Amino acid sequence: MEYLKKYPKLFQWLFLLIVFFALCFAIDVPETYKFIRGQAEFVKDPNQSVYFFLGKEVRYYAFDVFWRLPPLLGWLPIWINDSLFFLMNEWMPMEFWNEDTQEFKTRPLLLEISRNLTSFMTFLIELIREILLGGLETIVAFTSWDFIDAYPWLELPGLPWTIVAAGAALLSYKLSGKGLALFAGLTMIYISIFGQWKPSMQTLSFILVAAPLSFIFGLGLGIAAYKSKRVEKALYPILLVMQTMPQYAVLVPALVLFGVGDHAAVIITMVVAVPPMILLTILGLRAIPPEVIEAGRMSGCTNWQLMFKVLIPTARRDILIGVNQVIMVCFSMAVISAFIGAKGLGFNLLLALNQLNIGLALEAGLCISLIAILLDKMSLAWANKQTDYFGNLTFFQRNKNVIFFAASFVIGIILAYVGTFIFKGSFNYLFEIPHNKGISTADFWNKGVDWIFDTFFVYIKAFNTWLIQDVLQPMRALYLRMPAVATLVLAVGAGYLIGGVRSALVVAALTLFIALSPWWDRALVTLYMATFGVVISCLIGFTVGTLCFQNKKSAAFMLGVCDIFQTFPSFVYLIPVMMLFGITDTSVLIAVIVYATIPATRYTIEGLRSVPVGLHEAATMSGVNKFQRLTKIEFPLAFPHMMLGLNQTIVFALFMVIIGAFIGTEDLGQYILKALSDKNGAGIGLTLGICVAFIGLIFDNLIRTWVGKRKKHLGIA
């Protein structure tokens, strides 16, 4: 009895677990139940039940409602799909002037908007692409095909790679210094020599459009939300869902709205990259001390000056993290959007992975990662740049970068011209090294992979078999064995115990949405993979983080490593694991673990770091040893922050599990990937995406509520 009074929460949790397991044992698996593989559910089967809602037919296998809820939301994907189709093709037809045919044409409004948007994006991408690689679309856009036929020399020749490399190095030098310049130069030379120039520049042109646009929109909307509570309230739920929505899922509706190609990819990248930018902008602006704002006002700032000269620069730190996120997402999407026909490195990477040519994939992946790191560092350096007012500079000193660039421009052109003589009859290597005509290490890597495979095949296979048969399969079976009602009780109970009625209701709503969708089983499989990944990631991350924290240098080093790893596009993680484990669930899970360990480690170090120095000293003076200090002082205080890390770990893990569908899994991701090639996939893809997002949000809600309460309790809110 006394125990019960002392730890009431503990007993409440125990009670919840007992109810959960009791339900699990009380509800038997129906004899007809089996996990639906592949597209089997689309087969019409007399055993299926049918219902109609809003004129849509929904077929499903009926079970006891305690075991599996009927898919009462089964009509939703079809309805979304039809609505999208209606909006695009029938809604609000209007007369639009057509330049080419010189006459009015009737078109639905949304279609016209979408087409204008796409042509604008296409123009931007083509413009940059043709400056880098050459072409004639841009000139044509301003004139006509007849014009270019008459003056064929107007076609843009593209810059020789030497000039782009020199330009990148000089820009890096101006922004940061020798180190970055060297890195930029080497990266460009590497890209060129290894024959990845063309796809790299295609990807770069895509990024150079998508990243700045995402930044501007994110900043703009963030400012709007900061200024107006109403805007914030309207944006907030969308932002939340987008934070946990897998990137695949957004691709599918984009296909319907914007078609296939780079332009659609840019728009969809913006959809994914803008939300974190908005959130960080709001966060940064909110954190500005009120006195700084007052100082700005008293200096006589207009609202505009206040925003751009005081608020945004002061909130720079968070906004920069936003920029970093934008760049990260852009590169991630550069790969993923290859699914909807974006050109560049991502396309090559996918192709190579599809052919299981690990060497080629590795080269493309390395290029993407290098460019990602370069752009990330350059944007950081740009934001930290300062002006020198007192240097008495000569004309040469002031303009040396421009002069050097002009010089390298001339030299580059001369070199390219000389190249036409040296490499007569073959490719002009001083102008542009064609794709796959440079040095390639692909064979080396492929042989290496083969060697590893041959040598360690037995061990890898044994490990693989053990993991799948003895760990993963039973775990998966356990998850699938949970009756829907038991799961609901567990989720709602946890919500109630952590956050009271409000949390319980939110969690119930989110869980019900998934339970009533046609993909409950799939969601369970997704959850099992994510759980496995998260548990291992947290074990590794918390341990590594704690160990690295013991030493200032190793902590800083580890954070740097996390930074770099985070810049890699998520898809790149699939390359090495496929090298080692081939096409199995093990590959996906290992990629998940590697990817999700990043936030776990980072938040552990940051959490431990944030323990106030005063407490350290107080603890030392009470005579604790290092271990005691860690367990009694640092862990309890850092724990809330580490739990936020867990939250991120879950989001990262879910992302990777879904991306893992590319390797072949049987979770929600598999269906999202399928929806991509399905004419009527938009609704399915979106609903699936929302399901995944909701899984993330359930945990997000529980963890955040808990952390909020705990921080208040500890007085470190």
Partner 1 sequence: MSETVIKCESVYKIFGQNAKKMLEESNGNVDAKTFQERGCIVGVNNASFEVAKGEMLVVMGLSGSGKSTLLRCISRLTDATGGKIFIEGQDLLELNNKELIDLRRNKMGMVFQSFALLPHKTVVENIAFPLQIKGTNTEESISRAMEMVKLVGLDGRENYFPRELSGGQQQRVGIARSLAVEPDIWFLDEPFSALDPLIRKEMQDEFLRLQEKLQKTIMFITHDFDEALKLADRIAIMKDGIIEQLDTPANIVLNPATEYVRKFTEEVPREKVLIIEDVMDASSKDNLGDLKVSKDEIIENVAEKILTQEKLVGVVDSNNNIVGSIKPSKIIDTVFGGRKNGS
Nearer to partner 1, 309 or 709 (CB): 309
Touching partner 1, residues 391-420 (CB under 8 A): none
Q: CB–CB of 551/637 below 8 Å?
A: no
Minimum Å gap between C-beta 301 and partner 1 is 5
Touching partner 1, residues 311-340 (CB under 8 A): 313-314, 316
Minimum Å gap between C-beta 580 and partner 1 is 46
Minimum Å gap between C-beta 384 and partner 1 is 9
Residue appearing with tokens 């037995």 = 458
Minimum Å gap between C-beta 251 and partner 1 is 38
Minimum Å gap between C-beta 613 and partner 1 is 18
Residues in a beta bridge with 103:
98
Residues in a beta bridge with 108:
93
Touching partner 1, residues 489-548 (CB under 8 A): none
- Is 292 near partner 1 (CB under 8 A)? yes
Q: What is the Cα–Cα distance from 51 to 374, expressed in whole angstroms?
A: 55
Residue ranges with strand state E in 150-218: none
Q: CB–CB of 201/437 below 8 Å?
A: no
Minimum Å gap between C-beta 548 and partner 1 is 26
Please tell me the count of residues contacting partner 1 according to CB under 8 A.
Answer: 21
CA angle 505, 511, 515 (to 5 degrees): 135
Q: Kind and range of the H or E element at 51?
A: strand 49-53
Minimum Å gap between C-beta 566 and partner 1 is 25
Q: Kind and range of the H or E element at 717?
A: none
Residues in the chain, overall count: 717
DSSP assignment, residue 71? -
Q: Kind and range of the H or E element at 716?
A: none
Q: What is the Cα–Cα distance from 241 to 231, expressed in whole angstroms?
A: 16
46, 55, 152, 289: residue in contact with partner 1 (rule CB under 8 A): 289
Indicate the burial class of 668 (C-beta count within 10 angstroms; 0-12, 13-18, 19 or more).
buried
291, 426, 501, 715: residue in contact with partner 1 (rule CB under 8 A): 291
Q: What is the Cα–Cα distance from 574 to 335, expressed in whole angstroms?
A: 12
| Residue type for position 410 | V
Nearer to partner 1, 314 or 586 (CB): 314
Point out which span in 85-93, 151-159, 384-392, 506-514 binds partner 1 (CB under 8 A): 384-392
Nearer to partner 1, 314 or 597 (CB): 314
Nearer to partner 1, 14 or 287 (CB): 287
Nearer to partner 1, 127 or 315 (CB): 315
**Alpha-carbon distances of 458 from 266, 450, 455, 461, rounded to whole Å:** 45, 13, 8, 5
Point out which span in 193-201, 381-389, 635-643, 686-694 binds partner 1 (CB under 8 A): 381-389
Nearer to partner 1, 142 or 395 (CB): 395
Minimum Å gap between C-beta 673 and partner 1 is 45
Nearer to partner 1, 214 or 314 (CB): 314
Question: Which positions from 293 to 312 touch partner 1 by CB under 8 A, shown as an x/- string?
Answer: -xx-xxxxxx--x---xx--
389, 421, 459, 627: residue in contact with partner 1 (rule CB under 8 A): 389
What does residue 156 show for φ and ψ, rounded to 5 degrees? -65, 130
Point out which span in 289-297, 418-426, 467-475, 555-563 binds partner 1 (CB under 8 A): 289-297
Tokens describing residue 643: 């739990």
**Alpha-carbon distances of 109 from 94, 189, 329, rounded to whole Å:** 6, 47, 30
Q: Kind and range of the H or E element at 56?
A: strand 56-60
Touching partner 1, residues 33-72 (CB under 8 A): none
Binding region for partner 1 (CB under 8 A): 289, 291-292, 294-295, 297-302, 305, 309-310, 313-314, 316, 386, 388-390
